[in-house]
Amino acid sequence: MAVGAVLWGLAACGAGPAPTGGSDAAAAAQAVVTLTPGDGATDVPARGGVQVTVRDGRLTQVTLRSDDGSAVLGTLAADGASWRPDGKLAPETRYTLDAVATDARGAQAAKHAVFTTFVPTHTFVGFYTPEDGSTVGVGMEVSLRFSRAVDAAERAAVERAVQVTAVPAVPVVGHWFGGGRLDFRPEHFWSPGTKVTLRLALRGVEGAPGVYGTQDRTVHFTVARSQISTADATADRMTVVRDGRTLRTLPISAGMPGHDTYAGIMVITEQDRVTRMNSRTVGLGSEYDIPAVPHAMRLTDSGTFVHGVFWRPASVFGSQNTSHGCIGLHDVRGGTSTTTPAGWFFAHSIPGDVVVVTRSAGGPVAPDNGLNGWNMPWSAWVAGSALR
């Protein structure tokens, strides 16, 4: 039996309303109510720290509320002698507990307590992509990577505390890639001009036993335009289309045999005018170490980029696949040119723009290798939500 009625007319000292017969009858009530924890208690645990009991009577009303007015439902024992909350309490929160019991003669006894819960020792946060205030392309997923893995039993509560909404409205669903990562996307690419809001209400949400979230924050970003570039790894050409209009077709050099470029939909997640690329970081031994690769745009976590190449002759591009899996564009040193193919593409790209690789002998890119969940069928994506 759930008890959640609000107690009306209780004085701060805990005296209940007098039953028929006046205050002498109230004073003679046989019921003795005990609240655990007592008034003024601190550091109360989330589970097992709250109980209401009565001797020589039966509980008739119990109310447990947090300072913001939220009620905590509980269950009354069949004999009416005890009550416990059904769920967990939030950490670092002030609660008010009120109880009324009636004895065999109908006389009432009441008790009142205010207490605070514990301050968590172990916490977690979600590192989110994209950043607040970002302007992105239509392929941008919302991605949370947690500082501590979320237990399977707690994923629904964590996912419920994260909301992604869009204007104009479109259904957005979360998908778990293990306990460390939760991504959100709509069924199809965002529409240009969409305003997206990420609401993180993780403060006090338990992600693993004794590990609680700390974030209470709102993030906004805007989807600017639709830019989808299709890289044909057999024809060695990449066609850049923005909002339905072809901007340019660029000669490329994709992955050589044995290092074929991943096939499928990939999303630009970061841009660096100059970066170092070392084959050891991607498990390829000492095959290359290039200290100043220009115009690098990341497509996968595992190290696939669209980037400039100045160390091969211009004749390679459009005719040979020579890379270790990246999409190479002709470039010069320095990362400052905007007229080379790589410099032009860099200047005309933003995070969230889409690159689709076709006719490649490489295997399909994994949905969690970068922000590439678009390669997963919608039904499989939805099945990965803890709320479905």
Specify the fold of 2-116.
Answer: Immunoglobulin-like (2.60.40)
CA atoms within 13 A on the CB side of 67: 9
Asked if 269 and 183 count as a contact pair (C-beta separation under 8 A), the reply is no
Query: What digits encode the pLDDT tens for the residues 370-384?
Result: 999 999 999 999 999
- Residues 175, 295, 324, 326: which is the catalytic one? 326
Q: Determine whether 307 is an active site residue.
A: yes
CATH 2.40.440.10, applies to 227-374? yes
Distances (CA, A) of 341 to 100, 260, 327: 78, 21, 12
CA 288 to CA 297: how far, in whole Å? 18
What is the 3 state secondary structure string of 82-95? EEEECCCCCCCCEE
DSSP type of residue 279: G
- Residues 112, 175, 295, 307: which is the catalytic one? 307
Distances (CA, A) of 27 to 55, 73, 325: 16, 30, 84
CA 388 to CA 384: how far, in whole Å? 8
Euclidean distance between the first and the last CA atom of the chain, given in angstroms as a whole number:
28
Residue 379: which residues within 8 A CB-CB, separation 6 or more? Answer: none
Reported pTM: 0.84
Q: Determine whether 326 is an active site residue.
A: yes
Q: Other CB atoms closer than 10 Å to residue 290's CB: what's the count?
A: 15
CA 357 to CA 262: how far, in whole Å? 7
Query: What digits encode the pLDDT tens for the residues 261-313?
Result: 999 999 999 999 999 887 677 677 766 677 899 999 999 999 999 999 999 99
Q: Other CB atoms closer than 10 Å to residue 11's CB: what's the count?
A: 10
β-partners of residue 49 are: none
Taking alpha carbons only, the member of 354, 348, 191 closest to residue 268 is: 354
Rounded to whole angstroms, the maximal C-alpha distance in the chain is 104
CA 350 to CA 17: how far, in whole Å? 67
Classify the C-alpha dihedral 308-312-318-322 as positive or negative: negative
Distances (CA, A) of 113 to 10, 35, 46, 84, 232: 12, 7, 17, 15, 70
How big is the CA angle at 339 (ends 290 and 319), to the nearest 5 degrees? Answer: 65
Tell me the pairing of strands 82-85 and 94-102: unpaired
Taking alpha carbons only, the member of 164, 215, 17 closest to residue 98 is: 17
Choose which CATH entry (2.60.40.3710, 3.40.50.620, 3.30.465.10, 2.30.33.40) describes domain 122-225: 2.60.40.3710
Tell me the pairing of strands 134-137 and 216-225: parallel
All structural domains of the chain with their residue ranges: 2-116, 122-225, 227-374
Distances (CA, A) of 355 to 56, 112, 151, 227, 250: 74, 63, 34, 9, 13
Per-residue pLDDT of the chain (388 residues; tens, 9 = 90+): 444 433 333 322 233 344 444 444 445 689 999 999 999 999 999 999 999 999 999 999 999 999 999 999 999 999 999 999 999 999 999 999 999 999 999 999 999 999 999 999 999 999 999 999 999 999 999 999 999 999 999 999 999 999 999 999 999 999 999 999 999 999 999 999 999 999 999 999 999 999 999 999 999 999 999 999 999 999 999 999 999 999 999 999 999 999 999 999 999 999 999 998 876 776 777 666 778 999 999 999 999 999 999 999 999 999 999 998 999 999 999 999 999 999 999 999 999 999 999 999 999 999 999 999 999 999 999 999 999 8
How big is the CA angle at 230 (ends 321 and 278), to the nearest 5 degrees? Answer: 45
Domains 2-116 and 122-225 share a fold: yes
Helix (H/G/I), strand (E/B), else coil: 247: strand
